[in-house]
Structure 1
Amino acid sequence: MADTNPPDIKRGQGKTRGGTSGKVADFRYKRPSRPNKRPRKNGQAPREPKARGEPSGKQAHAQARNQGPAQAQAQSTPMPRGRNQAYAALDLGTNNCRLLIARPSGENFTVIDAFSRVVRLGEGLAASGRLSDEAMERTLAALHVCAEKLRRRHVHLARSVATEACRRASNGAEFIERVREETGIALDIISAQEEARLAVLGCHILLEDGAGPAVIFDIGGGSTELVLVEPSGAVPRILDWMSVPWGVVSLTDTVGGSDDTTDLRLDRYRRMRKTVLDSFRPFAERVREFAKGQHPIRLLGTSGTVTTLASLHLELPQYDRQAVDGLILPSVAMRDISVRLSHMSGADRRQLPCIGDDRANLVVAGCAILESILDIWPSETLGVADRGIREGILRSLMAADATGESSRAALQRMREQDV
């Protein structure tokens, strides 16, 4: 895997359900069938201006601060300019369904619509091996909302991906077909390898400046991806990567325990940590020598876990993307928060700002995964990204479309010269 980027078109690890990776849906929808840097003082973010916060529900967040095209093979290709076409990226994960719709803006893009909903698609999957009827119904309801937004925004190109829950479920392919029939959305079950690549493409710009390799990680609902990268032009070069089937949902469902006493809570947390560390061990061995280099090692995380813990570190009364996205803070602060949350009861965690009911039971598993990552890549600082797969998809679509336009324009010029 060294010296190569996980491919966009080819599958990474054997055959997976859902058809060829990299396809773009045409979105001829049916109508819905149902109603509807070192850390600065106090953990300050880098000096670069941030994108405005991404609102929830029907509001769109403003221009995302991205640079560099999405695909390694198109690193120098500009995005389409002077056009109003809308592009969309939909990421259906184990816990969340997220959509971004954006228009090119020079080398960047401006988000014009967004949607995010906790659907818990992978709930109960660890025990049954199947997506439950309730989870599929919740997810379909969210996807109908996404389909309506895609129609209303007249999306030019879109890509919709599904990750670990649909990869693992015995009825994952059946569910994908049902989604297509009921909503018109053609979900692509991507490999863990491509999931890692897209996450890197979506957030690498927030990696702290410096020389030498770094680790970018994505703690999802059903899996966690670790990617060792080295700065190389517009997009970092991927040196190594690993995906383990432990995310906040799958780890919570697999490692049982009681919440009744502090001792029982800590026992469960220790077992979570051991489960994850055992899975990470091959990657830890491979990156050991990189961690001993002469340059300070860097770490960047994109996930609800790191953004939630960063919000707690900042003592925010409610989540604020503008304050969190691009933050660089001491890793020890994240460890301290993780330890504190592992001691608390679920009822106490629910009372904390930026956690609430949705994350109260899952955040402890996220803390266990995060601490395990800090064990194998002991960076003094941790970068926080509220961006990832969707942004990587958008940049891939826009760069690929720009490349196609350039080819068509060149062909047209040749034809004119012939005449």
Structure 2
Amino acid sequence: MSKKNTGSHSTAAVSKVKFPERKTGESFPLRVAAIDMGSNAIRFVAAEFLSSQRYIVLESERARVRLGAETFRQGRLSAAAMQAAYRALARFQERMRVLRISHARLVATSAVRESSNGEAFAARVQKGLGLTLEIISGSEETQLVYRALKPQLRPGKRPWLLANLGGGSLEAALVNQDGVLVSETHTLGAVRLWEEFKASAHKPKIFLRLLEEYVATLRLGFQETGRPWAGLLATGGNIEELAKMAKAPETAKGIRELSAAALRRLLEALLATPLKQRMARWGIYPDRADVVVPAAVVYLHLSQLSGQAKFRVPEVGTKEGILFDLVDRLTLNSAYALRQEKQLTHMSLSLGRRYQFDEAHGRQVSRLALSLFKQLRAWHGLGPEDQRLLLVASLLHDIGAYISYKKHHKHSLYLISQSELPGFSPEDMLLAANVARYHRKNTPSLDHESYASLLPAQRLRVAKMASLLRIADALDRDHAQTLREVAVRVKRPWLELKITGKDPRELEHWALERKAQLFTQLFKLRVRIVAR
């Protein structure tokens, strides 16, 4: 289905917007576009924002390209699917040119993320069309969905369970007014399930039993604490379609409310209706008629897991989240940077709690490390992205103790590198993991496999961040959080630390002498604590 709105021709190039440090932002009205390359379809939307929260849709289209079919069977994107996707992107690029849109963001999710040739396809798109295709993690997708639904839902303190089911994966999260509290990704998408069990689809009872038994293995790694969940939010194209098919009522806020009982009745009707007749009876596309059944089974299981008898379906998703996020960046929304840091802190703390870390120590070390980072910016020359990496590494540097305190820095390297955080690529997680790994014991060395795998420029960044983390960790050696602030002064050949709070004990002096050696090696400054 496509909405068309022709506009004046423009020669403006369309690409993924860059996010440099800028002194002035774009102003409203502002035209932007989003492309969400999912496992079952590619979705395009162009919009004109009148303010940071209000926009009108100029054009939208859903290209029926099932990228996930071959990926979930063979582990790679098929040549036919890549060609169809490329043609769709070229068409969308032309529409953006006609609509005079020069800022757009393109993201790809599980089908491209899991394929062995996904990076090669992204490179082909870059070379042929000049478009940058971002391959994002499940946690980043959750953040985008949350950004889209927050203005509509206005959640309070009580957490909601957010279930975003796509073709390749299920993103489950707890969200409230503060943002995404915790999220996890499960390889349980509707297209994936269809490809796995479609051979039995001609036998509805067996097909349903296989789906239900397979989906029943899903467990959520988080549980509610304190007050009960506020409700169950369901997002994704399949649940939107199911809610319409079930004629679920719509609230004044534009959120459909679908009962689990109504969804169960609809599932039974779908199973009793042959595939081709489903399209005629409910007016759905062929690429939706098959996957709505496994999608319904997943959502019904989530209803049972959560104890929620009703789904709230806000009918917004990844592509709308991309629009909001892009506008925030372009207009330098004053709350944007603060919100991003707050979200990253929330998610990092949730990850740390999963491994029962010393939260008070992690927070203290992170606060001191970031203070050193900001005060010494002229010396280390690191950028905003490195500050985010240091935030994660410093908060989580000790999580490896969950496995064993012995060599826990190496366990931290593994746990962080194998985790997901919003806005962080696997490469980013590896950098943060290496910084955390060097908070104690040996300094960076090419003898260490993970460090040696980095590019030379990345190794230098890791070493600089690790040198700050080691100093911050030394200042809370007793895990007592007795220091309130640290002020730095360079007085060659010394970096002098002026401490506010309880006077450091001999233990901190001893730890600093040992741990500051990396900083001295990099910056040719010895480190000492001076009297206030």
TM-score (norm 2): 0.55
What are the ranges of 5 or more consecutive residues in structure 2 without an aligned counterpart?
7-24, 337-532
Secondary structure in structure 2 of the residue aligned to 1:281: coil
CA distance in 2, matches of 1:183, 1:142: 11
Q: In the TM superposition, what is the alpha-carbon distance from 1:349 to its structure 2 partner?
A: 2.1
Aligned to 1:128: 74
Aligned to 2:46: 101
Q: In the TM superposition, what is the alpha-carbon distance from 1:315 to its structure 2 partner?
A: 8.6
Q: In the TM superposition, what is the alpha-carbon distance from 1:85 to its structure 2 partner?
A: 3.3
User: Within 5 A, what are the aligned runs for 1:355-374?
Assistant: 355-374=284-303
CA distance in 2, matches of 1:299, 1:388: 15
Contact (CA 8 Å) 2:36, 2:44: kept in 1 or not? yes
Aligned to 1:310: 243
Aligned to 2:274: 345
Q: In the TM superposition, what is the alpha-carbon distance from 1:368 to its structure 2 partner?
A: 1.5
Secondary structure in structure 1 of the residue aligned to 2:216: helix
Please list the CA deviations of residues 66-98 of structure 1 after superposition, one character each: whole Å capped at 9, or x if unmatched: xxxxxxxxxxxxx965x3431111111111111
Please list the CA deviations of residues 292-345 of structure 1 after superposition, one character each: whole Å capped at 9, or x if unmatched: x555631111112111111111199xxxx9999521232321222123323433
Q: In the TM superposition, what is the alpha-carbon distance from 1:186 to its structure 2 partner?
A: 1.0
Match for 2:144 among 198, 205, 212? 198
Match for 2:255 among 326, 350, 353? 326
CA distance in 1, matches of 2:119, 2:51: 38
Q: In the TM superposition, what is the alpha-carbon distance from 1:126 to its structure 2 partner?
A: 1.8
Contact (CA 8 Å) 1:310, 1:324: kept in 2 or not? no
CA distance in 1, matches of 2:84, 2:168: 17
CA distance in 1, matches of 2:177, 2:204: 40
Larger-gyration structure (1/2) = 2
Match for 1:378 among 292, 307, 320? 307
Question: Residues 154 and 229 of structure 1: is their aligned pair in 2 closer, same or farther, counting only changes over 3 Å?
Answer: same
Aligned to 1:7: none
Aligned to 2:188: 246
Question: Residues 210 and 190 of structure 1: is their aligned pair in 2 closer, same or farther, counting only changes over 3 Å?
Answer: closer
Residue 378 of structure 1 aligns with an amino acid whose one-letter code is: G
Match for 2:234 among 295, 301, 313? 301
CA distance in 1, matches of 2:181, 2:334: 31
Q: Which has the higher helix share?
A: 2
Q: In the TM superposition, what is the alpha-carbon distance from 1:387 to its structure 2 partner?
A: 1.5
Q: In the TM superposition, what is the alpha-carbon distance from 1:282 to its structure 2 partner?
A: 3.8
Q: In the TM superposition, what is the alpha-carbon distance from 1:132 to its structure 2 partner?
A: 0.7
Aligned to 1:274: 213
Q: Quick check: 1:394 aligned with 2:323?
A: yes
Q: In the TM superposition, what is the alpha-carbon distance from 1:376 to its structure 2 partner?
A: 1.2
Question: Residues 96 and 169 of structure 1: is their aligned pair in 2 closer, same or farther, counting only changes over 3 Å?
Answer: same
Match for 2:103 among 157, 160, 163? 157
Q: In the TM superposition, what is the alpha-carbon distance from 1:394 to its structure 2 partner?
A: 1.2
Question: Residues 145 and 405 of structure 1: is their aligned pair in 2 closer, same or farther, counting only changes over 3 Å?
Answer: farther
CA distance in 2, matches of 1:230, 1:405: 21
CA distance in 2, matches of 1:149, 1:398: 19
CA distance in 2, matches of 1:371, 1:245: 17
Secondary structure in structure 1 of the residue aligned to 2:200: coil
Residue 200 of structure 2 aligns with an amino acid whose one-letter code is: S
Question: Residues 302 and 103 of structure 1: is their aligned pair in 2 closer, same or farther, counting only changes over 3 Å?
Answer: same
TM-score (norm 1): 0.69
Secondary structure in structure 2 of the residue aligned to 1:160: strand
Contact (CA 8 Å) 1:131, 1:171: kept in 2 or not? yes
Q: Quick check: 1:229 aligned with 2:229?
A: no
- Percent identity, aligned pairs only, is 28
Contact (CA 8 Å) 1:102, 1:112: kept in 2 or not? yes
Q: In the TM superposition, what is the alpha-carbon distance from 1:362 to its structure 2 partner?
A: 1.3
Secondary structure in structure 2 of the residue aligned to 1:364: helix
Q: In the TM superposition, what is the alpha-carbon distance from 1:348 to its structure 2 partner?
A: 3.4
RMSD: 2.9
Contact (CA 8 Å) 2:72, 2:111: kept in 1 or not? no
Secondary structure in structure 2 of the residue aligned to 1:268: helix
CA distance in 1, matches of 2:264, 2:158: 24
Aligned to 2:33: 88
Task: Choose between structure 1 and 2 for higher RCO, CA contacts under 8 A separated by at least 6 residues.
Answer: 1
Contact (CA 8 Å) 2:29, 2:50: kept in 1 or not? no
Secondary structure in structure 1 of the residue aligned to 2:93: helix
Secondary structure in structure 2 of the residue aligned to 1:113: strand
Contact (CA 8 Å) 1:311, 1:354: kept in 2 or not? no
CA distance in 1, matches of 2:4, 2:69: 26
Contact (CA 8 Å) 1:206, 1:383: kept in 2 or not? no
